[in-house]
Amino acid sequence: MSMPAELRARALHCLTETEPAAKIAAVEAMARAYAANQLPLDPAAVLSTALPVPGRPARPELVPPRLVGRRSMVTLEGRAMLIHALAHIEFNAVNLALDALWRFPGMPPDYYADWLRVAREEAYHYSLLAAHLATQGHAYGDFPGHGSLWEMVEKTRGDVTARMALVPRTLEARGLDAIPPLRAKLAQAGDQAAAAILDIILRDEVGHVAIGNRWYGWLCARQGLDPASTYDELVVRYAAPVIKGPFNIDARRLAGFSEAELRRYPPA
């Protein structure tokens, strides 16, 4: 199949790629081409959804979250299971960003540039984790994973406001809370390389959640909606998970959550 010559169509092409290394390479090539003004953007294009999405390899086997397995820090295999779980999250995050990039027409050019940046950085995170997993004698696909992140993408495929509210600033924002304790456990277990990777991921994820906050606020303002009450309504309408602490208040503040929102999420 020839490579599409327009940004959003290229993003859809990348999304449907099933082989992880090929997907990561395609995302990087797309980002480089766009930065070099070699890949025009057509925000108004209506793209076909007939192709199967998202592109995933045959492995890992997808199971309910409760069946993924325990990840003990005591054993090398347990730590490898944790790194695999993180790689699975980042691989799915690449698909999440690509879907946000291609699916919603009529947004400002900066919206598409922002989600291209997210896709590129998530691809980098996946590459770091997959390479580290290889040093532990494993590869992506060796352990089961779950598909719960993609479920909210499916639910919000027809509503960009809900997508911004419930994927980056809800589900992905949980990473801001979860990464510091995971980093501490890996460092305590002696895996300083994994801890350093999580430092990179946390730094970048603050920016990714900030992008979700930016466009959620922009969409609410354009529609004359109150962000707080609209968010609560969207959580109910789309059956989003109720988030629980502890919360990384400092990271959430850096990511653009308002002080009123932060007061709803007290630190542990």
Residue 87: is its pLDDT beyond 60? Answer: yes
Cis ω for the linkage preceding 246 (within 30 of 0): yes
pLDDT digits (tens, 9 = 90+) for 90-102: 999 999 999 999 9
pLDDT digits (tens, 9 = 90+) for 116-160: 999 999 999 999 999 999 999 999 999 988 878 889 999 999 999
Over residues 79-87, mean pLDDT = 94
Q: How far is residue 107's CA from residue 83's CA, in Å, rounded to a whole number?
A: 35
> What mean pLDDT is reported for the chain?
92
Asked if 161 and 223 count as a contact pair (C-beta separation under 8 A), the reply is: yes
Domain spanning 65-263, CATH architecture: Up-down Bundle (1.20)
Instruction: Give every CB contact of residue 21 below 8 A, 6+ residues apart in sequence.
Output: none
From residue 168, how far is each of 44, 173, 226, 233, 248 by CA, in Å? 23, 6, 19, 17, 15
